[in-house]
Structure 1
Amino acid sequence: MTQDGTGTAPAQAGGPANSAEQPYPVRSVAVKVAQWIERLGSIWVEGQVTQVNLRPGTRTAFLVLRDTSADMSLSLTCDPDLLRRLPAPLTEGSRVIVYGKLQFFTGRGTLSLRVTEIRAVGIGELLARIERLKSLLTAEGLFDPRLKRALPFLPATIGLITGRASAAERDVLSVAQSRWPAVRFVIRNTAVQGPNAVPQILEALAELDRDTEVEVIVLARGGGSTEDLLPFSDEALCRAVAAARTPVVSAIGHEPDNPLLDLVADLRAATPTDAAKRIVPDAAAELAGVREMRARSAAALRGWVRREAHTIEQLRSRPVLADPLRELRHRHDEVERLRTAARRSVDHLLRGESTTTLHLREKLTAVGPAATLARGYAVVQRVAGPERHVVRSIEDAPAGSQLRIRVADGAVSAAALGTQRLTPKDTDEKRK
């Protein structure tokens, strides 16, 4: 079925239409493919040699070049003298850069790269590439410590990626199980060097990362040469570890080895044994720590109780707590003294005021009208109807006026018979 849904291929310019009734023969397709590939020209390709087939007496050598990060390969052909002229023999696992041109063999329908130049990738070039990749990943932030995920204190299930029946696997399992026998491992054995290492490790990492029971993943292998450890500096592996949901521990090689995986992993262990020690706590040491903490906690609690009891005893021995009513009695006595003093002061004030009042009353009595009347004086009032007027002068009581004379023990009604004005002689006698 073609793009237009008719099942008929569009007619080629200048050629017959292609359809079920007019199909292309195999030779035409093979020739067209060969012609198209011929136009690609020569290219440089890098990879790892996985197969070398150089038979004596043959005019062509066959090789297989594999991608270092993916499960893909390419067939190579070259002149046997090209391999013989190399400075060092080409062996399986060698990293090379080849220059050649793609060829499509119409007879067999196969594709291969006809190589005219082969360059071995030396250790210096590999290290330089690792440094360039390191700078790139650093700029992207894959090595940022803030991205590191914390490892669980006591993982119940640990994922382990390592070589089959390797010393690294034995070290991790033996050390971890001796420290915490209940720990469980999910092991994925992969190639740890060579062209198949990276694809297999990526597959195992993805599988363990999907497993919800796996709490931490360990990538472990023993030491080796720089070429042996190249898979653990692969860009695809570094990015996969950075993107993983589960914390990843790198336990590659020995202390001097430092592939890029160590920088991107959440924890870098010096050796596989060190990884087991740092992931799984020592049961005996943890129990001893718990016992020590319990003893220290009990001692601290007892010390705190003793201090508080001593403080309470000191508080109880103080006078205010030994005899709580003492202050009340003291205040009661003071209140009584103040009440007595207040009473004395009030009584003294009342007596003084009573005496003063008595003296004032006596003075008032002595100078009052009643006392004057008692000494023989009288108050004369003229009665004019209902009103009474005190007679102060003879003009106030003319003859015939009705008078009321008030004395000490009563009053006398009288009438004025007449008036007589006093002479100076009478005034002097009165004074005498």
Structure 2
Amino acid sequence: MTSPLPDKAADTTAEQPWPVRVLSLKISDYVDRMSQLWVEGQVVQFNPRGGTAFLTLRDPDVDMSLSVSVPMNAVNAMPIPLAQGARVVLQAKPTFWTKRGTLQLEARQIRPVGIGDLLARVEILKRTLAAEGVFDAERKRPIPFLPRRVGLVTGRNSAAEKDVVENARRRWPAVVFEIREVAVQGSSAVTEVVAALRELDALPTVDVIVIARGGGALEELLPFSNEAMIRAVAEARTPVISAIGHDVDQPLLDLGADWRASTPTDAGKKVVPDAARERSTVDGARDRLRRALVRRVESERSGLRALVSRPVMADPVALVRARRQEV
């Protein structure tokens, strides 16, 4: 006679395990008891099929995602077309598919997250980080005068990379770069930039790191106001220069970095000294030193001539002759 299965997971043993079907059904039962909820994320895959759309909803801060199914009539009711990379909030019910052993969300409603909402959240984050002292001037690390190696985190084949590298080499031709090309917009931007930053920060020969990206729409620059990225910059051992967009763009990375460059071109000029100017400074110092040395030698020579020109120096025995008569 077959012994009954344990009622609780804690009661299972190697001799009395649960079959896969029992575990799957219990997980399904637990998930079914969960209520509907609203969840926010970023759409990284969007695949409409007939009356249903299947999408992958990813957390914008960490590498976690969930599969979602949503009726096409809910998608079509959105005020703007749904596209990959969009930030959305949706009402959904978690479900567990026992045959595949997968968890997904069945959405009822889906709404875009507006720019105004995103900017409001950025402002709240700004105040929170400022209250923690993340932006304090006292924690800013000085940019080295002449780094052994410059770390650069930038987009793949980007104009920003060209601007930083060319302007730096124009000023100091021998500068050496350690470049990491990553996504600088979209769903993977935060994780890729943070991973590249940490990789460069671990290299002992990298003395400064530049995070650079050209200009773009406000929503394209939002990854550089992400909390995970700002905290990673604050925790870095190596000084970090922020070079995002144009002078008018001010993501939170500008506040969290050790120095803000108004553009990638500006970063290229800041990261190394101007060789011509430094050479001119050295030449000027050498010239001033030479002139000061000439003046000192001439002064000592004049003093020596004055000393030699004294009568006692012209005829050293004259004083002796004058005193000989007295003796």
TM-score (norm 2): 0.88
Q: Which moved more, 1:120-129 or 1:303-312?
A: 303-312
- What do residues 164-219 of structure 1 show as CA deviations (whole Å, max 9, x unaligned)? 11111111122222222221111111100011011111111111111111111110
The number of equivalent residue pairs is 320
- Work out which of the residue numbers 27, 46, 50 in structure 1 matches 2:44: 50
* Post-superposition offset of 1:317: 8.9
- Work out which of the residue numbers 14, 20, 25 in structure 2 matches 1:26: 20
- Work out which of the residue numbers 196, 202, 208 in structure 1 matches 2:200: 208
* Post-superposition offset of 1:260: 0.6
Structure 2 residue 279 is matched with structure 1 residue 279: no
Structure 2 residue 120 is matched with structure 1 residue 128: yes
- What do residues 408-427 of structure 1 show as CA deviations (whole Å, max 9, x unaligned)? xxxxxxxxxxxxxxxxxxxx
Name the larger-Rg structure.
Answer: 1
Contact kept, 8 Å, 1:156 with 1:182, in 2: the verdict is no
1:228 aligned residue = 220
- What do residues 248-276 of structure 1 show as CA deviations (whole Å, max 9, x unaligned)? 11111111111111111111111111111
Contact kept, 8 Å, 1:49 with 1:93, in 2: the verdict is yes
CA distance in 1, matches of 2:55, 2:80: 16
1:88 aligned residue = 80
* Post-superposition offset of 1:78: 1.3
CA distance in 1, matches of 2:210, 2:128: 25
- Work out which of the residue numbers 285, 291, 294 in structure 1 matches 2:286: 294
CA distance in 1, matches of 2:40, 2:173: 47
CA distance in 2, matches of 1:113, 1:313: 101
Contact kept, 8 Å, 1:158 with 1:214, in 2: the verdict is yes
Where in structure 2 are the equivalents of 1:119-268 lying within 5 Å?
Answer: 119-268=111-260
Contact kept, 8 Å, 1:222 with 1:272, in 2: the verdict is yes
2:89 aligned residue = 97
CA distance in 2, matches of 1:314, 1:47: 90
* Post-superposition offset of 1:319: 11
* Cα distance change of structure 1 residues 28 and 312 upon mapping to structure 2, 3 Å threshold: same
Structure 2 gap ranges (5+): 316-322
2:262 aligned residue = 270
CA distance in 2, matches of 1:292, 1:271: 32
- What do residues 118-139 of structure 1 show as CA deviations (whole Å, max 9, x unaligned)? 2211111111111111111111
Q: Give the letter aligned to residue 91 of structure 1.
A: A
CA distance in 1, matches of 2:88, 2:313: 95
TM-score (norm 1): 0.67
* Cα distance change of structure 1 residues 322 and 12 upon mapping to structure 2, 3 Å threshold: farther
Contact kept, 8 Å, 2:134 with 2:256, in 1: the verdict is yes
* Cα distance change of structure 1 residues 132 and 311 upon mapping to structure 2, 3 Å threshold: farther
* Cα distance change of structure 1 residues 315 and 90 upon mapping to structure 2, 3 Å threshold: farther
CA distance in 1, matches of 2:139, 2:127: 17
Structure with the greater relative contact order (CA < 8 A, sep ≥ 6): 1 or 2? Answer: 2
- What do residues 278-321 of structure 1 show as CA deviations (whole Å, max 9, x unaligned)? 11112222112211121122223434555566677789999999
CA distance in 2, matches of 1:266, 1:38: 49
Q: Give the letter aligned to residue 11 of structure 1.
A: P
2:30 aligned residue = 36
Contact kept, 8 Å, 1:82 with 1:117, in 2: the verdict is yes
2:320 aligned residue = none
CA distance in 2, matches of 1:64, 1:233: 23
Q: Kindly report the root-mean-square deviation, in angstroms, between the aligned alpha carbons of the 2 structures.
A: 2.9
Q: Give the letter aligned to residue 156 of structure 1.
A: R
CA distance in 2, matches of 1:66, 1:322: 99
Where in structure 2 are the equivalents of 1:323-338 lying within 5 Å?
Answer: none
